[in-house]
Amino acid sequence: MTTYRLVDDGFPYKKIMSARKWVGRVGKHGAGGYFGKIGHIFVRGETERECFNEVVAQHIGFENAAQLTIQNRAVRANNRVQRAKGRAFANEFRVANLSGQIEMLNRLFSGEKT
């Protein structure tokens, strides 16, 4: 998942930030519409958000923002599955007796699939 943000600091353009680093900008284009720029990547679009999404996607290495959205959706789904597995293990561990907990830990650290 991406950690890029669009920040308005009062300039005529908005900053594209990656964590605390200023990596690019989005602003109004002289010919109408908006532009987004990170390094040598330049994108034009109808809205600030559209330009932001496109330029960040290209900067990360995707063809367009739609591909980045699909990738982010898959990552979020995988994270949900992993969280559910962790919660299930924790709940089972919490209610098990000591010998059951030791057995569960042995399975966990031996690499067995549960």
Domains of the chain, residue spans: 4-61, 68-110
pLDDT at 54 over 70: yes
What's the average model confidence in pLDDT over 82-102? 87
Cβ–Cβ contacts within 10 Å for residue 56, how many?
26
Confidence grade of residue 105 (pLDDT, cut at 50, 70, 90):
confident
- Tokens representing 112 are 């067995």
- pLDDT above 70 coverage of the chain, percent: 96
Give every strand in the sheet of 41-45, ordered side by side. 4-7, 13-18, 21-28, 34-38, 41-45
What's the average model confidence in pLDDT over 60-65? 92
pLDDT at 112 over 80: no
pLDDT at 2 over 80: no
